[in-house]
């Protein structure tokens, strides 16, 4: 009997406790519901973000600023002067190789010819059959038999040869300066092609003007680079809107002009054999290639039919005509004799 009463009391206690807990839970639920209705919680979604901020975030992350002549110059891509370093290293290597072949620093004409200097009798047949019979044996010894007598490579190889450390340094100083200014703006392939064309044109003009001399050196190619750099910076003065950048281009132009003027009136490499014909040849192609590759000012483009394409077409046509005429003159109109 007592046990039954106890069970009944426990049942009543748990029933009251359960009812009370249920009442409390309903009250809490009602309060939460009421609060959620009065102050709604915003879900984390893109709809709750203002359109202006959303567009701003997307713009910053995905959209790059439009390019312009100013930003193309001011914000330049990071680069390493690979072409400049490669040319300097190759020129130094060949100078050391020449000293090893010569076994000294006083280099003879035979060594220069064997190393690939410009020597017209190795580049085209002699004028008369009598001279060919007399000098062919000597030329075969001097020039080697590689493509003799049409050693076309001698238009290229002399630009990598130098007579002394002084000669090498005088060319490399401005060559490195100009190439460093241009290599951040043009690709290595374009600079390499331009450099070869500058040197080719310089040696071709030297062969036309001095067919009996042995010549070597990179001055023709360096002159082409200097003129290319001058034209490039002058054009940029007219294509840049920012006054500070205009002043910078103007000052950078005068970094290379002194070499151009100095080498016209003085022997900067102290060799006593300045080849001005090579300078002229390199300068001609330097100007024409600059007109073709650099951004041309609007006052020039507007006066040429077809605009920018017309300017490039004219420059390329002049380059083609120049090389055709000079090569025809070299091979057919200028006789070569050793007397």
pLDDT tens per residue across span 188-235: 889 999 999 999 999 999 999 988 889 999 989 989 998 998 899 889
Q: How many CB atoms lie within 10 A of CB 87?
A: 23
Per DSSP, what are the bridge partners of residue 215?
A: 118
SS3 216: coil
Q: Is pLDDT at 78 greater than 70 in this prediction?
A: no
Provide the percentage of residues in the chain whose pLDDT is more than 90.
32
Q: How many CB atoms lie within 10 A of CB 325?
A: 10
Q: Is pLDDT at 266 greater than 50 in this prediction?
A: yes
Provide the percentage of residues in the chain whose pLDDT is more than 70.
71
The pLDDT of 102-120, averaged and rounded, is 91
CA dihedral of 229, 231, 232, 233, whole degrees rounded to 10: 90
> In the structure, what pLDDT confidence band is assigned to residue 129 with cuts at 50, 70 and 90?
confident
- Does residue 42 or residue 299 have the better pLDDT? 299
Compute the distance between CA of residue 320 and CA of residue 324 in angstroms, rounded to an integer: 6
Pick the range with the lowest mean pLDDT from 98-102, 259-263, 287-291, 334-338. 259-263
pLDDT for the residue numbered 188: 86
DSSP 69-100: HHHHHHSPPP---HHHHHHHHHHHHHHHHHHH
Place of tokens 């840049």: 240
The pLDDT of 248-270, averaged and rounded, is 67
pLDDT for the residue numbered 61: 46
pLDDT digits (tens, 9 = 90+) for 43-59: 444 444 444 444 444 44
pLDDT for the residue numbered 7: 46
Compute the distance between CA of residue 19 and CA of residue 150 in angstroms, rounded to an integer: 114
> In the structure, what pLDDT confidence band is assigned to residue 119 with cuts at 50, 70 and 90?
very high
pLDDT for the residue numbered 11: 52
Pick the range with the lowest mean pLDDT from 106-110, 147-151, 265-269, 326-330. 265-269
Average pLDDT over all residues of the chain? 78
pLDDT for the residue numbered 292: 94
- b/e map 277-313, b = 16+ CB within 10 Å: bbbbbbbbbbbbbbbbbbbbeeeeeeeeeeeeeebbe
pLDDT digits (tens, 9 = 90+) for 140-184: 888 876 788 889 999 999 999 998 888 888 888 878 888 777 887
The pLDDT of 20-24, averaged and rounded, is 57
pLDDT for the residue numbered 209: 92
Q: How many CB atoms lie within 10 A of CB 249?
A: 20
């Amino acid at each position: 009997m007592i046990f039954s009463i106890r069970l009944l009391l426990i049942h009543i206690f748990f029933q009251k406790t359960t009812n009370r807990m249920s009442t409390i839970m309903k009250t809490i639920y009602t309060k939460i519901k009421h609060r959620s209705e009065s102050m709604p919680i915003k879900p984390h979604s893109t709809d709750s973000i203002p359109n202006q901020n959303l567009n701003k975030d997307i713009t910053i992350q995905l959209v790059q600023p439009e390019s312009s002549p100013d930003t193309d110059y001011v914000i330049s891509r990071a680069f390493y002067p690979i072409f400049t370093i490669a040319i300097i290293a190759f020129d130094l290597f060949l100078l050391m190789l020449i000293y090893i072949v010569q076994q000294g620093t006083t280099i003879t004409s035979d060594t220069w010819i064997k190393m690939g200097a410009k020597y017209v009798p190795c580049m085209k047949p002699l004028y008369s059959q009598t001279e060919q019979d007399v000098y062919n044996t000597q030329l075969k010894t001097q020039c080697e038999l590689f493509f003799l007598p049409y050693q076309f490579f001698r238009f290229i190889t002399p630009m990598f040869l130098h007579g002394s450390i002084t000669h090498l340094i005088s060319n490399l100083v401005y060559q490195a300066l100009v190439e460093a200014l241009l290599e951040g703006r043009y690709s290595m392939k374009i600079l390499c092609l331009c450099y070869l064309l500058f040197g080719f044109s310089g040696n071709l003009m030297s062969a036309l003007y001095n067919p009996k001399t042995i010549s070597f050196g990179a001055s023709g190619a360096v002159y082409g680079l200097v003129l290319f750099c001058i034209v490039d910076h002058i054009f940029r003065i007219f294509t840049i809107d920012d006054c500070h950048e205009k002043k910078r281009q103007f000052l950078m132009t005068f970094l290379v002009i002194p070499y151009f003027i100095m080498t016209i009136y003085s022997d900067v490499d102290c060799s006593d054999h300045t080849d001005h014909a090579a300078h002229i040849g390199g300068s001609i192609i330097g100007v024409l290639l600059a007109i073709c590759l650099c951004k041309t000012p609007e006052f020039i483009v507007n006066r040429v039919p077809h605009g920018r394409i017309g300017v490039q077409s004219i420059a390329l046509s002049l380059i083609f005509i120049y090389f055709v005429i000079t090569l025809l003159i070299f091979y057919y109109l200028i006789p070569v004799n050793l007397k």
